[in-house]
């Protein structure tokens, strides 16, 4: 199933940042591992406050034009009919079916393919400019490592990627696990800088990039606006 197609502006112009979203633990709550709801992936309750957070991402300029582009849902759920059906039903339950049509829901099937899709918009190639990319994610230690692997193995130049980590009791420890994994795999190629709300991973070797991983805190309109403006700070 095709993902959302980004319509690029003229090459001389700066592209708006785009924000993508994980699904399980990000838009909907996860169910206990061995429950029937987890096996079926339905019904799953909406994440509290997500609609307010989503509203806060819609930052506009003085003329009312959007400064942020809402991208796709990018999930590691397998791209099979049963998963597509229950994902669509959950989006309806979350009052988001009008925001994410089928072509904007990308079921990638693996963390690796999910990472490739996330970084695609950030890459600058001969054909296009990259753009700043945001990703709302529950498990940064898994996605973040795959992003770093893909970028270092690709050798292209990337605009900054910012992972917004959903509020969770293990959010901080998951970022720490990502730090340890990146240092273990790429210690000589990637610099890790600690920030108050997360960590930044920087490399100028075999693909220049900056990956920020930040905790979002509780979902709210203010948290959404804060994350959107963080992306804009990288852009303008």
| pLDDT for 170 | 95
Mark out the alpha helices in 35-123 (DSSP H runs): 36-40, 50-56, 81-93, 111-120
- Give the SS3 label for residue 11: coil
- Encoded tokens for 142: 């898994």
Domain boundaries, the chain: 18-235
| Tokens of residue 223, six digits | 């948290």
pLDDT per residue of the chain (236 residues) written in tens, 0 to 9: 445 434 434 433 578 999 999 999 999 999 999 999 999 999 999 999 999 999 999 999 999 999 999 999 999 999 999 999 999 999 999 999 999 988 899 999 999 999 999 999 999 888 888 999 999 999 999 999 999 999 998 878 899 999 999 999 999 999 999 999 999 999 889 999 988 889 999 987 766 789 999 999 999 999 999 999 999 999 87
SS3 readout for 179-192: HHHHHHHHCCCCEE
């Amino acid at each position: 199933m095709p993902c959302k197609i980004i319509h690029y502006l003229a090459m001389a112009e700066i592209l708006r940042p785009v924000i993508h979203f994980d699904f399980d633990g990000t838009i909907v709550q996860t169910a206990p591992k061995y429950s029937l709801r987890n096996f079926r992936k339905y019904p799953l309750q909406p994440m509290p406050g997500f609609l307010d957070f989503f509203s806060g991402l819609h930052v506009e300029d003085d003329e009312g034009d959007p400064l942020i582009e809402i991208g796709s849902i990018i999930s590691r759920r397998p791209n099979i009919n049963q998963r597509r059906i229950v994902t669509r039903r959950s989006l309806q339950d979350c009052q988001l079916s009008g925001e994410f049509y089928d072509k904007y829901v990308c079921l990638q099937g693996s963390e690796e393919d999910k990472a490739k899709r996330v970084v695609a918009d950030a890459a600058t190639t001969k054909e296009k400019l990259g753009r700043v990319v945001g990703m709302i994610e529950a498990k940064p230690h898994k996605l973040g490592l795959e992003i770093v692997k893909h970028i270092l193995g690709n050798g292209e130049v990337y605009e900054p990627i910012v992972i917004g980590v959903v509020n969770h009791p293990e959010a901080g420890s998951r970022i720490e696990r990502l730090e340890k994994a990146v240092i273990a795999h790429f210690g000589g190629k990637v610099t890790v800088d600690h920030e108050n709300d997360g960590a930044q991973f920087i490399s100028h070797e075999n693909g220049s990039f900056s990956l920020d991983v930040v905790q979002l805190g509780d979902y709210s309109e203010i948290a959404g606006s804060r994350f959107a403006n963080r992306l804009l700070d990288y852009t303008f």
